[in-house]
Each structure stands twice: as structure tokens, then as C-alpha cells.
Amino acid sequence: MNHPAPGHPAAGRPGTGRPGTGAFGPPVDPSAPVTSFGTGLLITEVRRVPGGQEYEWLRAPGPVAPAPFAPVPGTLRRVCEGIGEHHGVRFAVGEETEGPTGAGRRYRAGHDRSVIHYLLVGGPAEVPGGAAALERALRGTGALLAALHRAPIPTPTPTPTPTPAPAPGPARGLRRLWTWLAGDSRAAEAFAAHDGVLDTLRRWCAQALTADADSADGRPARPVLSHGAPGLGSLVPDPRTGTAVLLTGEDLCLAPWPYDLGWITGELAELRWAHGGDAAEWQRLLGALVEGYGRGLGERARRWAALRIALHAHDTLAYSDEGRAAAVYVLLAARLVRGGATR
């Protein structure tokens, strides 16, 4: 997940995105990044695979990320890869690699730009293949998430190393929300400086999380195997084939089943809020996701979307140099709350 400036939901600040040019000027060698962007939470570089038409997406925790990436156990990798392709979309689990601030992940994809890049530039019509292709990609994403949520939770995989690979734990996003609510966050002081709406939103988040949490220790009740951050910045189309991959691995977790759907629902709400356009078209995108998943969030949609947007506001304050933009997301989350998100 990336943490963007205003109008850049879950995408970070894109670089030039032009093959052959780096984010900060012309490359000095062919292996230079095609684009790079990041925040204090997550750093992303995209490089062309030498001699091929694919791209490597290198992602690593940012310099002030609260926790490193966890390795993906072999059993969990096999679960994701065994799900295969749905409506032209599949999981790209990636591999552990060494990033500038520690262990990161390396993924292969057929393009150097994610879906969010096109949505920020001009909306659904700008995605390769147009809005119809994006609907298909979201339908496939919904189907992938449904299959993952139905999968048995794997046990830790024994490894030859002294430290066994861990089983998936609670969502990293929920951990950041809990940290904020506990007052132990880099953004806590900034939030506290804006009493009123922010305090109301903070109390509401605590109540909303409690509604889906075990009261004993705050862990999600009835957890399912989840992607953890299936943002549109992780959905990478391949213009050559009309397919797409969902970058997967760094946030694999256990969470209530609405968590993943709420993540994408919140991002679509942010995009519609920030960029406007045809309301029916945005609704069709959400409908495609729900159709692929096989069920919708119903009356919980506003609540989970608001939680996602509140987390985005927190992360923008805590990890982005454009933290003031978080006010936009705070207001949107508050509006969703007032509109019945607590139901």
C-alpha cells in the first residue's frame, strides 16, 4: 500500500512513469528505475526486466515504517498461486528481496503502471482497454479475494532456517489503526490538534472496530485469510494481453472478510470524491467487484469504507510529507460516518 498526496488514493506519488526515464531525471544506465515513488511507510521502484517486456516492481518498507515485511510461508504462497486466474486476474505473490531499508518484495508484472495511475490521470476510461477492461479486472479481483477468503488458514511452514516462517497474523492496516486509537502513533499529536471532527471520527473508529473484534484482545473475530491491502495501486494491468496481476504478499493476513472489500470500496469512494466524473460509472466499478466476489458488504459498506479512509488519513499524516492533505480524507470519512456508516 502506498500513501498518497491529495487525490492520490493509495498510490503514492507517481514518478514520470515513462519508460527510459527515471523519477528524478534521465537514467545513467539501463537498469535505472523506470519510475519510483514512496512515503515513510512504503517505497516502490519499477524496473524493466533486461531483454524482456516485463517489469519488476520492487517494494520495501519506508524509513519510518512501524514494522518490516514478514516472509510469505511456502504454504501460503501455494494457496495464492493455486487459486489461478479469474477474469484475467491472478495473484502475483513475488519474492523476498533486499530493499534500501531492509527486506522487501520483488514482483513481476506486464506493465510499469498500476490501475491507480490511470484513475488519477483521467478516470476509468484511461485504463488500458477502457472502463470495460477495468470492470473486468475488478470482477476478477473480487473473485480472487473470494477464493482466498474461502481457503483454509495454513499452519506455519517448517523451514531449514532456525526461525520458522510465521503464519499470517492480523492485518497491518488494522494494527496501525489500533496504534492510533491507543494514542501511540506518530500521527497522534497531529490528530489531537484537531478536536471536534477528528475526535468524533476517532471514537467512531474504535466503536466500529469493536463491532468486528474479539473483546478479549482486539483481534479480528472470525478471521479469514486476507490480502490485507488490495489497493488499486497494487492492481497492474498488462496492455499487451488484457490481463492483470494483483501484487500480493507484504500484507497477507487474517482479517474479517469485509476488510479486503472495504479497502477497495474506500479507495473508489476517495477517487469519486476527489475527481468526480460519472457517478454511475464509479458505481459500475464497485458492482463489478461485488459481482466477482459473489456478495456485497450491504449496510456495512459505508463502515468499512470509512475505516479504510480514516486509516488513509492517519497514514498520510504519519508517513507523507503532504500530511495536511489528510484533512480531505478525514472530512470524507466523517461524511460517511454521518451518512450511516455505524449501522
pLDDT tens figures, 226-278: 999 999 999 999 999 999 999 999 999 988 899 999 999 999 998 988 788 88
Distance of alpha carbon 44 from alpha carbon 20, whole angstroms: 17
Position 338 scores a pLDDT of 63
C-alpha cell at 245: 496481476
C-alpha cell at 286: 464497485
Residue written as grid cell 467512531: 204
Distance of alpha carbon 42 from alpha carbon 204, whole angstroms: 27
Residues lower than pLDDT 70 in the chain: 1-31, 99-102, 156-167, 186-198, 211-221, 322-328, 330-331, 334-343
DSSP-derived 3-state class of residue 252: coil
Taking a C-beta distance cutoff of 8 angstroms, is the pair 205, 187 a contact?
A: no
Position 274 scores a pLDDT of 79
Residue 169: partners with Cβ closer than 8 Å, 6 or more residues away: 70, 253, 254
Position 328 scores a pLDDT of 65
Position 343 scores a pLDDT of 41
* Helix 301-319 and helix 258-275, axial crossing angle in degrees, nearest 10: 70
Position 161 scores a pLDDT of 45
Distance of alpha carbon 255 from alpha carbon 220, whole angstroms: 6
Taking a C-beta distance cutoff of 8 angstroms, is the pair 117, 92 a contact?
A: no
Task: List alpha helices for the chain, DSSP H.
Answer: 74-82, 115-121, 130-150, 172-181, 188-192, 197-211, 258-275, 279-293, 301-319, 326-336
C-alpha cell at 307: 475505516
Position 276 scores a pLDDT of 81
Position 309 scores a pLDDT of 87
Position 196 scores a pLDDT of 61
Angle subtended at Cα 148 by Cα 147 and Cα 153, rounded to the nearest 5 degrees: 125
